[in-house]
Amino acid sequence: MAKSMTIALAGNPNSGKTTLFNALTGARHYVGNWPGVTVEKKEGKLTYKKHQFTAVDLPGTYSLSPYSIEEKIARNYIVNESPDVVVNIVDASNIERNLYLSMQLIELGKPVVIALNMMDVAERRGYKINHEKLSSLLGVPVVPIVATKKNGIDDLLDKVLDIINEKIIYEPKQVDYGKELEKKIEETIEMLKENPKASKYDLRWLALKVLEEDEEILDLLNLNTLNDEMAAAEEISLEDDIEALVADKKYNYITGILSKTVKKPTNYSLTTSDKIDKIVTNKWLGLPIFALIMYSVFYFTFDLVGNKFLDMIDIFFAETVSTWASNALETIGASEWLHSLIVDGIIGGVGGVLVFLPNIICLFLAISILEDSGYMARVAFIMDRAMRKIGLSGKAFIPMILGFGCNVPAIMGTRALEDEKDRLTAILVNPFMSCSARLPVYTLFAAAFFPKNEKIVVFSLYLLGIFVAIIMAFIFKKTLFKGETMPFVMELPPYKIPSIKGITVHVWERVKGFLIKAGTLIFGASMVLWFILGFNFSGPADLTESIGAYIGKIVAPIFAPLGFGNWAAALSLVTGILAKEVVVSNMSIIYGLAEDPSAAQFAVSLGQSFTQLTAYVFMVFVLLYTPCVGVIGVIKRETNSWKWTGFSILYQFVVAWLVAFLVFQIGTLFGF
């Protein structure tokens, strides 16, 4: 079989890069409209005209300067892995800004084909682009495409094959940086010819990076230790800010090319997105509109749709699955312990979590619509002012929004932040954002203790999570991570009506993760919980004499000042570190909810252990305390530090305890 060829997809955020990747490979990766959605390279396979390709979707970047992890991943892959062709996806409706990355890609010395995407959008805005002339002036193939409609994909792959098979001569034009700088580039190239580590790279690109004093490249070439060469590099770069000069020359070059290839509309008028933004990003209206929208999300999640289906699944597990399983076990003469394991342990534990699937689907559906419509990207802009006051830019709020779904990808999304201190701050506060795994806990307690007001209770918890995250970020920026606030630059995508296919894929990918967790982690946890709640070291035991009760009684005094110092609540919180949904599994098994998992039964069962106040305090603690093991693992990976991982585990527990204590004391003071 012929060797598989590799295509690297590189482009700006929101240029349609992942859409093209999905169109090429048939994958269904989430297509986001803000930085940080693609933070790791993804690979897919495709076959075209009997040729095998591996397509690699690189993180979206505005440049290849190593200021963020995304940029490093993209640049290092192209430089070190040497793909056969780099397909640079360029947003035709924002061609000038996108071509800056194109020029950097071309300078890397790898073959580049430009996919001029969103041609339909550009034409609707009145842009006329002569792509053939553009190709001639750049010296690289330029192919107009519309990735969402799969238009031009075959033409693009034909050009890729032509490059690989050398059917067309690849002779990219070079940016002229001016007489003085070109002389310095040549001198540096001559210097690099003596460096054995430079031989496998494009010397002109390396020379530019040396002149820009790119630390990663200087380390790569050992120029920090070779005194003579380093002195030569410093001598060359003393006079000017080379990096700014290079960027300026590139933009001048791009402007010159576009003046010959692009005709812009003469009459500019506000687009629909511009008109909407005048309202939703308004200085005074932005935050109230955001709060109203989030309240509407919870109204939809609970009152309007979610709870109606929740009742149906309640009945399904209580009256159908449990009854059928009991009858089947009795028919085959199963022992009492096996009956208890399956009905009380597995059905009670896993079913106790799955009954909240409708609420989770509704929440994912609402958030997906907000994300795909382009609104969520505006939230970062709206929050920029508030975030800037605490020393962070609005860009740091994007991972926090992603945390509403799951904190794991949200923490990975912090890679889009250029400043390491900002990134550490964003990582440490992200778990305060209420992920979907906590929703079953809220739904269970809110339905039991706050009937008819579930949406208000849950809404307040989400707001509390945001508030605590912002407060802690402020404290970190004033103590551990002092520094200047990075400027906030982010392209706001145009509003669009989300596609049914896109929303379906997005919701399904998230729901699938929840179902997989229910079928694996929660399934296993339910069996372990059943064992430790039904046995002690002498054998079968009453619930209050079980291993689980023993563990819970040891931990319970910690929570006594919070109003819920009973062993069942304590054990639930301990097991919740495995996964937050396990809190519900634990409660379901302890209170025998497999037979009647209704909110009314739950309220009766917990009536002697919780009041309305302590139920709310318990939810506050679940919102804020130590994250689950999945989040702990990603914090370790992203910080590469056990110190910060351990700090995250401990400080969140302390913050959760203090806030819950405060809520309990204030509630008691007001007689709740």
Binding residues for GTP: 11-18, 36-40, 57-60, 117-120, 146-148
Residues 373 and 596: beta-carbon distance below 8 Å:
no
φ and ψ at residue 332, rounded to 5 degrees: -90, 0
Residues 534 and 541: beta-carbon distance below 8 Å:
yes
| Residue of 101, 108, 161, 96 whose CA lies nearest to 134 | 96
Which residues carry a binding-site annotation for Mg(2+)? Answer: 22-23, 25-26
- 22: exposed, middle or buried (C-beta count within 10 Å: 0-12, 13-18, 19+)? buried
Instruction: List the end-to-end C-alpha distance of the chain, in Å, as a whole number.
Output: 74
Residues 619 and 369: beta-carbon distance below 8 Å:
no
CA distance 662 to 618: 12
Pairing of strands 42-48, 51-57: antiparallel
DSSP code, position 563: T
Residues 394 and 377: beta-carbon distance below 8 Å:
no
Structural tokens at position 322: 């449990």
- What is the helix (H) or strand (E) element at residue 521, kind and residue range? helix 521-534
What's the chain's Rg over C-alpha atoms? 29
Query: How many C-beta atoms lie closer than 10 Å to residue 51's C-beta?
Result: 16
Give the angle 16-172-118 at the CA atoms, nearest 5°: 20
φ and ψ at residue 46, rounded to 5 degrees: -155, 155
CA distance 542 to 546: 6
CA distance 442 to 581: 10
**What percentage of the chain's residues is helix, strand, coil (to nearest 5)?**
65, 5, 30
Where b means 16+ CB within 10 Å and e means fewer, 518-527 reads: beebbbebbe
Which residues carry a binding-site annotation? Answer: 11-18, 22-23, 25-26, 36-40, 57-60, 117-120, 146-148
